[in-house]
A and B are shown apart, each in its own frame.
Chain A
Amino acid sequence: GAVVSQHPSRVICKSGTSVKIECRSLDFQATTMFWYRQFPKQSLMLMATSNEGSKATYEQGVEKDKFLINHASLTLSTLTVTSAHPEDSSFYICSAGGTGVPGAQYFGPGTRLLVL
């Protein structure tokens, strides 16, 4: 149980294009999902908290117009990187609170984004 999937797993795009990443909780409902960014050999940096049916809460320094988050249902949240640039290249990971250990998050496998 508590499986989270992400799609795509890897994406390469040209600078200036937008990229959408999907995060799905496969076997549970997640009212709250989280989006993280991870640079090589670094820890996870929380970008935003995504709440179903309401606006996402962004961490300080994260541009909400650049990283659009939509949490349309209890099993799906999307992150759209708009007008991507090479510096947006990173590993993006989503997570959702699930059943079992209270407070524990279940992480997706991550999406590797490379902007050329």
Chain B
Amino acid sequence: GESVGLHLPTLSVQEGDNSIINCAYSNSASDYFIWYKQESGKGPQFIIDIRSNMDKRQGQRVTVLLNKTVKHLSLQIAATQPGDSAVYFCADLTGGFKTIFGAGTRLFVKA
């Protein structure tokens, strides 16, 4: 069946370093992905999205890379800050509004 998953359940980085969070998907027809950030006790927040006609998209301090060949996408956070500590989910929206969430990666930022 279709699934979206994350390679690592937790990631610990030093403040100021760059963070890379990975995500694999299994549906080769998937063509639209969103990264969400969820802080403890809160709902997910939209970070950045990417469509399959792109392999890279940049936002403020964040970059998403999409490799359709190996069905992998990643979220890169530059100069990671304590406020970036959260759980990050990749989500597949190929099916329209019905979103399939990955398992999530918890990012810890060490001061």
Contacts and interface: CB of A to CB of B under 8 A. Distances in A.
B46 A109 contact: no
B43 interface: yes
> Is the contact region of chain B dominated by helix, strand, or loop, or is it mixed?
loop
Interface stretch (B14-22, B60-68, B75-83, B92-100): B92-100
A103 interface: yes
* B interface bracket (residues with beta carbon within 8 Å of A): 20 to 34
Interface of B: 32, 34, 36, 41-46, 49, 89, 93, 96-99, 101-104
Given A43-B89, A101-B46, A110-B43, 13 more contacts: A6-B43, A42-B103, A43-B103, A44-B101, A49-B98, A95-B44, A101-B49, A103-B32, A103-B96, A104-B49, A105-B46, A108-B43, A109-B42
Give the 10 A-B CB pairs with smallest separation, nearest first.
A107-B43, A103-B93, A43-B101, A107-B44, A44-B101, A93-B43, A110-B43, A43-B103, A43-B104, A109-B43
Interface of A: 4, 6, 32, 34, 42-44, 46, 49, 93, 95, 97, 101, 103-110, 112
